[in-house]
Amino acid sequence: MRLPPPTPVTDPLPYLWQGDLSGDAENLTGCVIRGESIAQFDALLHEINPDAVRVDPARLQHLMQWLLALPVEVAHDVLDRRLQRIEQLRAMLADADWDTGDAARLRLAKLLEYVDREDDLIADQEPMVGQLDDVLLLELAWPTFASEAEDYNDFCHYREDLHPIGSGSEQRAAWIRDRLAEIALWRHRLEVRGGHYPPGRPVALFRVI
């Protein structure tokens, strides 16, 4: 069975909705988004994550309507938790102790450049939905960054808790070494718990005559 793609938070946006809406996307505030702008957004998304689903006017319209129908505090939470993930990616890119590869760095730069624009798919000043396109781009591009983002998050916790010394590469080496040791210990404990007898043929302690 194929697993769903990873998302930046546990509750994914409902972007896989299918319906019969078509044409330009118009939310409840009267903001109109033209089809050509959505096509440009979709092209950027697929530069970052070629395997992402397509973004079309119908899905975007439904997503805006869904967000605007939420209680205000819930809608802000939907956006804020994803915006925090964007800032974590920004921190990862800027961290001299981390070694993001050139290809991932280029994809991240494209995502952050879009997020930092004010004249993007949905203008940032639009009430509530102004940052929806930013978090949607993050959501659909996330599989590209998910593994490294989780590794970086674990490395940050390790660095904060244990204060490893040395250069960034030395700190990363210490982190990998200690995590591998933890995995080896965990596997050993599983093997011990799973075995009822020591290896080899059991030896009889008594003989009845």
Q: Does residue 83 sit within a domain?
A: yes
Residue 43's contacts (CB-CB under 8 Å, 6 or more residues apart) are none
Joined tokens for residue 209: 């005559």
Q: Which domain holds residue 142?
A: 25-193
Q: Does residue 6 sit within a domain?
A: no
Q: Does residue 181 sit within a domain?
A: yes
Beta 32-33 vs 25-26: how paired, if at all? antiparallel
Render pLDDT for 27-44 as a digit per residue (tens, 0 to 9): 445 666 778 889 999 999
Between CA 186 and CA 63, with CA 145 as vertex, the angle to 5 degrees is 120
Q: Does residue 32 sit within a domain?
A: yes
d(CA 121, CA 34) in angstroms, rounded, equals 9
Joined tokens for residue 92: 């990862």
pLDDT at position 22: 44
Q: Does residue 173 sit within a domain?
A: yes
pLDDT at position 31: 66
d(CA 158, CA 187) in angstroms, rounded, equals 21
pLDDT band at 25 (very low <50, low <70, confident <90, very high): very low
The domain tally of the chain equals 1
Render pLDDT for 79-128 as a digit per residue (tens, 0 to 9): 999 999 999 999 999 999 999 999 999 999 999 999 999 888 998 888 88
Render pLDDT for 149-195 as a digit per residue (tens, 0 to 9): 999 999 999 999 999 999 999 999 999 999 999 999 888 888 888 76
